Structure 1
Amino acid sequence: MSSLWGSKKDRQDGDEGVQEDHSSSGNTQGRNSRDEPTERTRLLNNPSRPPNSDGYLAPDDPAVSPYNLWSVRFLRTFTVLFLMISFLWWVLLFVSIFVSPPGLHTRGSGFFDFAYTSLTIGNLLVAIIFFAVPAKALRITLAITAGLLAIDMIIILAVPRIRLEEGWVGIASVIWAFVIGVWCVITDRVVAWGKKEEEERLTGRPETRRTLKEWLAVLLATILTVLFIIITVLMTSTLAIRARDSTLKMYGDRILVDGDKYAVHLACVGNVTDTHGNKYPTIMLEAGEDPSEYDFEHWAYAAYQNGTIDRFCYWDRPGYAWSDNAPSPHSAGMSADALSEALAKAGEEGPWILVAAGTGSIVSRIFSARHVKQVTGIMLVDPLHEDLLHRIASPTRGFYLWAWGIISPLGIERLGGALFKGRTREDRVYGRNAYQSGKYIKAQLQENLVADSLSKNEVSSSRNIQSADTPLVIISSKEKCRTDEEWERKQKDLTTLTDNLVAWEMPQAPHQVWRTLEGRSMMEKSLKKLVKAAAKANLPPIDAE
């Protein structure tokens, strides 16, 4: 009995000792867990994910993730934050293409700022979507993009004309794009390190395998970043061409207007007065759909050399040739006001004989109505009638211009012309390829947006206050009139702008009448008649005595 009792007691004492040992062991483990918490403690003690026999998790266990590290989670949070900031900036730049917010107007097109921000968003989206699948190929392509963006940043900051056109908005956009490019490289590298670190600690070795899904993700991410490299190369090349074009010398001056928001190019040729001190009338050229320097000014210079005219001036509307883009929206009346301000700052006082072509005739008619005493004659070459402004205001044309502007920073056509067709700086700034520049596209888009509203109201009002005594010449394209009956009817209506019609001529020529010998000859003869009529109309009255 005693032995039996003793053995029972011994077992009880042993059980109590074991319980005490387990209790003390559990307390020690609890204290150690509280004293030395790690990011893996919770995972290894999670009964829903039992470890292998060797104490490690399986390589395919979802708990084996770089997201376990606070540094990785920190990078992802800030990447999402940067994406939100970039998207808000992108929306603001998108709106500024159509309506310029105060302080955000740039003298350039605004399409470059938008393009850089779009590239920034693309890099951030790739970084977020493929965040947990880092790859060396992805880091290399992102690094190449960041290097190209660094070159863009240097070009914009180093070339005065580009720096002036892009302004602080463009500079901030390209710097932000560069910073985000570097950030994405660093993020991918840190995630790769975190992934390896977690695999070593939780599975005992770094994982060298990839699932099919991961390989597809790496392939897609690499394709996208290679596409970003191509886009950045094109943008960098276009910037280099712009830097080259900025060295082209211009005749005349760039004059700040509209509260110094932008500058327009104005040039004058000839003497102001004759040898007796009498003022010559100044021919004021207003080009149509192309810059004044492209053919139109050449015709005027030939007339000047022939002695038909003694003096002429020409300018570039905002966005054309050497002129900056104006804030949006921008109407024909605003262009007329910009011309008035530029002439006043240049000390040009007239009297003016206005010679305008195509869409430029809208600006000249508004200018004439607002300077009745200074304008002594008007010559319109195949002019656009206000009732036909809807043709340049169509939504389809507007969308096409916007889409063309969005891809204009790539400069595909400009680069092709420079590399394979021998296009020169003159071609790109004011010649046959001027239509490819972002500034020109922005100017065309501005005309499109308000042509059938603001501009139409302005030119219609100007018709009501136009002086009826002003000598008028209309030269219409016979080819255009033959193929467009409505155009011909409106040309006839324009001959009634004033009561003093000097001539209505219809040479066998296209819309750009001055591009044929017959058209140039008829324009020069008609201009000579207009100069004489203007001089006669402005003679002082003869004293009856």
Structure 2
Amino acid sequence: MSSLWGSSRKDDDNNNNNDAEDADSSVRESQDYSRVANEHTRLLPNRVESTRYLSPDDPAVSPYNLWSVRIVRWITIFLTLVTFVWWILQLVGQFVTPPGFHTRGSGFFAFSYASITLANLLFSLVFFAIPSKSMRILSIVMGAFLLIQAVLLLAVEKTRHEEGWVGMVSVLWAFVIAVWVLATDRLVLWGKHEEEERLTGRAETRRSLGEWTAVFVSSLAMIVLTVALFLTACTLILRALDAGLAPPGTRYWVDGDKYLVHVYCHGNQTDSKGTKLPTVLLEAGEGTVEDGLWHFADDAVNHGSINRYCFVDRPGFGWRHRAVPLSAGMAVEAASEALARAGEEGPWVLLSAGIGSVYSRIFSSRNGEQVKGLLMIDPLHEDLLYRVGAPGRGFFLWLRGILSPLGLDRIPGALFKGRNKEDRVWGQSAYQTGKFVFAKLQENLVADTLTKRDVSSSGAIQYKDTPLTVISSGEEMRRDDAWEDAQRDLTGLTHNLKHWDIVKEAPHEVWTTLEGRDTIEKRLKQMVYA
């Protein structure tokens, strides 16, 4: 009886132990499940300890579980901030040059590289956790284009000289970032596969609709950047070809050797009797001297109307470097210094057109004894400088400038229109170059302030007995009443007005018509041989 009782007691103890073990097992399973499912494990997916595999769509399946991926992302954010600061400096440098950031070129190439680099990093951050093969391929292509452009900038002396250290740093930094983005994408891909195998049992090859959309957008953005780099490379090739075009004159360092100024003179200072005659100093209008008055002056020498002429390229025009800031008075000071270094002392007869007359008036007022005549072709009045300095015009010039490295007009011109080196450096396509656009932008920024002050104050010291001739465009005067009033007012610039000719059928560039050329040459001859 006792034996039966003891056996029954042992059975009860075993049952109680089994029930306790089942309860403990249920608690442990509940605790395990809570560790998998609660919000803390969602926020810290790298601490998942469940032996059960997760769904591939579970937020816990992420490459961010790996510290290496997180660190690389933070480094990418830091590089983006550094690039953003560099981009801001390049943007500011198009208006006011920060100390140490002076370049002799346009500065638009350095800004374009900074923009491309910043865009590359931003797209890399936005789509950081969604690596794609297309991104890696396009990063390789971008890196190749940037390497080619770095070689072009370093190998060609003129472009290296113009872009300076700012351009070099910009293109090399863009290349380094392209390599970084490529390596980052490859690391994230590895981390994604690692976490998918650990948490889901296999690397996921499928993509959700959202992921496909992200891949499409990122690939499209990288294609745009790659095309931009391809066009920039083509523009740099054109610049390398144009660098082989030697200037007809000599370039001189001015303003403390900050930049070079191109001076060209042609003809004899004395006539057949040994009499010294004034040299005609040309000043271009809205374009370069070489594309307008140069050929006219050559013809005048051949016809015997003048004996000699000189011209000095304005900053950013022809073979001259850019200058920042740039008012008309500053440009005249640089031109005077360059002429002095060239050994040119005058006397002068000043021949100017359009806005170039503003520069000639300032030169005349500061060199009055050496100026023997002032001939202005459809000149711009200082009261109309607000048109040159209009904000809308300035914004359009800036937009043209930042797009100029793409060569959207230069490349088709070279491929389909037969534009050559001369066209691009000083001819009909010179307005497409970044230096030219930058010069016009600087002209716009100070036209109604510094330049207007310079030309207005020059009137107070202008020699009133200087012979003056004004030749106006009939078309411009009929079209614009304010222009007609301005032409009439300029005839009173000195007390020695010789002639005011109105060429009725001539446009603003009066010398482009036969009647205009004849009139200008006749009046010029009268001044030189007076």
Give the conservation status (yes or no) of the 8 Å contact 2:110–2:167: yes
Q: Distance in 1 between matches of 2:317 and 2:438?
A: 10
**For 1:532-543, what aligned pairs fall within 5 Å after superposition?**
532-533=529-530
Give the conservation status (yes or no) of the 8 Å contact 2:45–2:61: no
Q: Distance in 2 between matches of 1:256 and 1:187?
A: 46
Q: Distance in 1 between matches of 2:46 and 2:284?
A: 78
The partner residue of 1:454 within 442, 450, 455 is 450
Please name the residue that 1:93 is paired with: 90
Aligned residues: 507
The partner residue of 1:231 within 203, 228, 231 is 228
The partner residue of 2:408 within 407, 412, 415 is 412
Q: Report Cα offsets for 1:450-472 as digits up to 9, x if no partner.
A: 11111001100001110011111
Q: Secondary structure at the match of 1:87?
A: helix
Please name the residue that 1:373 is paired with: 369
Please name the residue that 2:421 is paired with: 425
Q: Distance in 2 between matches of 1:183 and 1:331?
A: 43
Amino acid at match of 1:318: P
Quickly say closer, same or farther: Cα 1:44–1:7, change in 2 above 3 A.
Answer: farther
Q: Distance in 1 between matches of 2:340 and 2:146?
A: 42
- Structure 2 residue 322 is the aligned partner of structure 1 residue 325: yes
Give the conservation status (yes or no) of the 8 Å contact 1:254–1:264: yes
- Structure 2 residue 160 is the aligned partner of structure 1 residue 163: yes
After superposition, the CA RMSD in angstroms is 2.4
Q: CA deviation at 1:62?
A: 1.4
Q: Secondary structure at the match of 1:504?
A: strand
Q: Secondary structure at the match of 2:139?
A: helix
Please name the residue that 1:341 is paired with: 337
Q: CA deviation at 1:148?
A: 0.6
Please name the residue that 1:31 is paired with: none
Q: Distance in 1 between matches of 2:195 and 2:527?
A: 87
Please name the residue that 2:512 is paired with: 515
Q: Distance in 2 between matches of 1:303 and 1:278?
A: 18
Q: Report Cα offsets for 1:70-111 as digits up to 9, x if no partner.
A: 211121111111111111111111111011112112111111
Q: Distance in 1 between matches of 2:451 and 2:173?
A: 38
Q: Distance in 1 between matches of 2:473 and 2:271?
A: 35
Q: Distance in 2 between matches of 1:43 and 1:396?
A: 54
Q: Secondary structure at the match of 2:518?
A: helix
Q: CA deviation at 1:270?
A: 1.7
**For 1:67-466, what aligned pairs fall within 5 Å after superposition?**
67-273=64-270, 278-327=275-324, 329-466=325-462
Q: Distance in 2 between matches of 1:252 and 1:358?
A: 24
Amino acid at match of 1:344: A
Give the stretch that moved more between structures: 455-464 or 503-512. Answer: 503-512
Quickly say closer, same or farther: Cα 1:276–1:11, change in 2 above 3 A.
Answer: farther
Q: Report Cα offsets for 1:184-232 as digits up to 9, x if no partner.
A: 1111011101111111122221111111111111111111111111111
Q: Report Cα offsets for 1:368-392 as digits up to 9, x if no partner.
A: 1111122221111111000111111
- Percentage of identical aligned residues: 54
**For 1:2-17, what aligned pairs fall within 5 Å after superposition?**
4=6
Amino acid at match of 1:465: I
Q: Distance in 2 between matches of 1:478 and 1:61?
A: 78
Give the conservation status (yes or no) of the 8 Å contact 1:51–1:57: no
Give the conservation status (yes or no) of the 8 Å contact 2:277–2:528: no
Q: CA deviation at 1:479?
A: 1.5
Q: Secondary structure at the match of 1:476?
A: strand
Give the conservation status (yes or no) of the 8 Å contact 2:277–2:529: no
Q: Secondary structure at the match of 2:94?
A: helix
Q: CA deviation at 1:307?
A: 1.5
Q: Secondary structure at the match of 1:468?
A: coil
Q: CA deviation at 1:271?
A: 2.7
Q: Distance in 2 between matches of 1:448 and 1:250?
A: 27
Q: Distance in 2 between matches of 1:525 and 1:276?
A: 21
Give the conservation status (yes or no) of the 8 Å contact 1:319–1:326: yes
Q: Distance in 2 between matches of 1:489 and 1:209?
A: 75
Give the conservation status (yes or no) of the 8 Å contact 1:94–1:114: yes
Q: Report Cα offsets for 1:388-427 as digits up to 9, x if no partner.
A: 1111111111111111111111111111111111111111
Q: Distance in 2 between matches of 1:287 and 1:399?
A: 24
Q: Secondary structure at the match of 2:93?
A: helix
Give the conservation status (yes or no) of the 8 Å contact 1:320–1:440: yes
Q: Secondary structure at the match of 2:185?
A: helix
The partner residue of 2:499 within 500, 503, 517 is 503
Quickly say closer, same or farther: Cα 1:183–1:492, change in 2 above 3 A.
Answer: same
Give the stretch that moved more between structures: 80-89 or 505-514. Answer: 505-514
Amino acid at match of 1:429: V
Q: CA deviation at 1:45?
A: 6.1
Give the conservation status (yes or no) of the 8 Å contact 1:59–1:207: yes
Q: Distance in 2 between matches of 1:75 and 1:46?
A: 22
Q: CA deviation at 1:277?
A: 6.2
Q: Distance in 1 between matches of 2:275 and 2:78?
A: 69
TM superposition outliers: structure 1 runs of 4+ over 6 Å = 5-10
Q: CA deviation at 1:532?
A: 3.0
Q: TM-score when scaled to structure 2?
A: 0.91
**For 1:475-514, what aligned pairs fall within 5 Å after superposition?**
475-508=471-504, 509-514=506-511
Give the conservation status (yes or no) of the 8 Å contact 1:149–1:178: yes
Q: Distance in 2 between matches of 1:197 and 1:485?
A: 77
Q: Distance in 2 between matches of 1:284 and 1:45?
A: 81
Q: Distance in 2 between matches of 1:215 and 1:386?
A: 60
Q: Distance in 2 between matches of 1:465 and 1:95?
A: 36
Amino acid at match of 1:389: L
